[in-house]
Amino acid sequence: MSNATHPAAHAPGRDTLRGSAELIEAEEATLAHNYHPLPVVVARAEGVWVEDVEGRRYLDMLAGYSALNFGHRHPVLIETAHRQLDRLTLTSRAFRNDRLAGFAEDLARLTGLEATLPMNTGAEAVESGIKLARKWAYDVKGVPRDQATIVVAADNFHGRTTTIVGFSSDPLAREGFGPFTPGFRVVPYNDLPALEAAVDETTAAVLIEPIQGEAGVIIPDDGYLTGVRDVTRRWGALFVADEIQSGLGRTGTTLAVEHESVRPDVVLLGKALGGGIVPVSAVLAGREVMNVLHPGEHGSTFGGNPLAAAVGSAVVGLLADGHYQRRAAELGEVLDAGLAALVGQGVLRYRCRGLWAGVDLDPALGTGREVSERLLGEGVLVKDTHGSTIRLAPPLTITREELEWALAALAKVIG
Ligand SMILES: *Cc1c(COP(=O)(O)O)cnc(C)c1O
């Protein structure tokens, strides 16, 4: 249908004239229904605050699932992006660009892993990590061709591609999307004996989240990550840590594995790496692992583009002096104390590390969705995960006063 004949024809500036209700209706009519967003239509944002099309303000306590660790439109990141937009945005990897080497050097300093494979989305980083681990298993470990296995944890979330949902344990993510890629073994999370039993000479890698985000911010027992490191080392398998949501300052350290001083062989980054501006992800590995990839064996048109690399470097720059990690740790204590005070007052239990919490609410108060809608009415944006669990993950730029205000709003809607 041409615009001329369509009654809702899009004209420049038109969206500023349509109200929330009209825009929601238009979205439902035109978009795939693979999401069920809260009924708020955001038009602008700065720092931890967003504003909807009617001018109502909300405190963003989700931060784009940690893609906005530095808040909306952090001035350093926006300035970097503007400068890069004025100079060079895309070359493809057919040619080199003057931003990529610096980005990889920055990531190597940040993670201690010297080689970078740049991609765009988190799921792509996970897919790339899987391919890297399999290639390494055949070329270096000597696993017979097509026999490599990868051990993953139940209740994982690693993205939405067909290979990745194939080893999800969430029926909603899987059902209707088979047949799936073979070669994965699923074991319970935080269960070292089960992991031990699943790892053998065919194991290319153990792929886990150091803290399971989508599952409800599930923090494994102390010693679990160290145990994963021991088992993988003993069997000559790679430890692949998916830090796409847990990494880049969220938990009070640059990477969540630092809480146990564990060094994985492969680290996957995404979300906050793009500064809330562009999708940027990366696979980090030691040189001898990364060297199993040769020209033509893997790639991405947009991976490592100069705009992404410039923004990614600026993100690493923000983490360089430890300021945001310290903020996450210090304000994490405020969050923890605030949630502790609500246990028995509508909160059944919660898990918190840094500025990241999964809060299990008394189901009698309604679903996580219903509580999220009530918080929306109080000017606080959160997201439910499963059932009666909500997740809190504000930008690391939030102030103590703002955090306490959000906690008071939570207390009010569940009280
Ligand atoms: C979000 C997420 C992904 C997938 O990232 P996308 O950019 O949405 O593809 C993978 N792993 C973890 C742990 C995540 O939180």
Phi-psi category of 252—alpha, beta or left, where left has phi over 0 and alpha has psi -120 to 50? left
Average pLDDT, the chain: 96
13: confidence class by pLDDT, cuts 50, 70, 90: low
The finding on whether 122 has its CB within 6 A of some atom of ligand 1 is: yes
Give the whole-angstrom CA distance, residue 268 versus residue 77: 21
**Measured in angstroms, how far is the CA atom of residue 122 from the centroid of ligand 1?**
4
The H or E element that residue 89 is part of is: none
CATH no., domain 20-60+324-414: 3.90.1150.10
The H or E element that residue 357 is part of is: strand 357-361
Give the whole-angstrom CA distance, residue 3 versus residue 94: 38
pLDDT at 327: 98
Instruction: Express each pLDDT in 215-239 by its tens digit.
Output: 999 999 999 999 999 999 999 999 9
Name which of 13-27, 55-69, 143-157, 356-370 the model is least confident about.
13-27
The finding on whether 245 has its CB within 6 A of some atom of ligand 1 is: yes
Instruction: Express each pLDDT in 91-103 by its tens digit.
Output: 999 999 999 999 9
How much is the pTM?
A: 0.96
For residue 270 the two structure tokens come to: 């995404």
Give the whole-angstrom CA distance, residue 12 versus residue 150: 50
The finding on whether 332 has its CB within 6 A of some atom of ligand 1 is: no
Instruction: Express each pLDDT in 363-389 by its tens digit.
Output: 999 999 999 999 999 999 999 988 899
Specify the higher pLDDT residue, 287 or 6.
287
**Measured in angstroms, how far is the CA atom of residue 255 from the centroid of ligand 1?**
15
Among protein residues, the one whose CA lies closest to atom 6 of ligand 1: 122
Phi, psi angle pair for 80, to nearest 5°: -60, -45
The finding on whether 121 has its CB within 6 A of some atom of ligand 1 is: yes
17: confidence class by pLDDT, cuts 50, 70, 90: confident
Mean pLDDT for 169-179 is 97
CB 202 within 8 A of CB 215: no
396: confidence class by pLDDT, cuts 50, 70, 90: very high
The finding on whether 159 has its CB within 6 A of some atom of ligand 1 is: yes
Q: Where in the chain is the domain with CATH 3.40.640.10?
A: 75-319
pLDDT at 66: 98
Mutate to test the pocket of ligand 1, among 68, 161, 207, 245 (most ligand atoms within 8 A of CB): 245
Q: Where in the chain is the domain with CATH 3.90.1150.10?
A: 20-60+324-414
For domain 75-319, the CATH class is alpha beta
The finding on whether 242 has its CB within 6 A of some atom of ligand 1 is: yes
- The amino acid that residue 358 corresponds to is G
The finding on whether 247 has its CB within 6 A of some atom of ligand 1 is: no
Closest-CA residue to 357 (of 380, 377, 328): 328
**Which residues participate in catalysis according to the annotation?**
157, 242, 271
Pairing of strands 357-361, 49-52: unpaired
Mean pLDDT for 136-147 is 98
Instruction: Express each pLDDT in 256-285 by its tens digit.
Output: 999 999 999 999 999 999 999 999 999 999
Q: Kindly report the CA angle at 154 between 148 and 160, in degrees rounded to 5?
A: 75
Mean pLDDT for 49-74 is 98
Which atom of ligand 1 has the smallest separation from the CA of 164? 10
pLDDT at 262: 98
Mutate to test the pocket of ligand 1, among 69, 119, 126 (most ligand atoms within 8 A of CB): 126
Which residues, including other chains, have CB under 8 Å from residue 53's CB and lie 6 or more apart?
15, 16, 18, 19, 20, 23, 41, 42, 43
pLDDT at 412: 97
16: confidence class by pLDDT, cuts 50, 70, 90: low
Cis amide bond preceding 171, omega within 30: no
Among protein residues, the one whose CA lies closest to atom 11 of ligand 1: 158
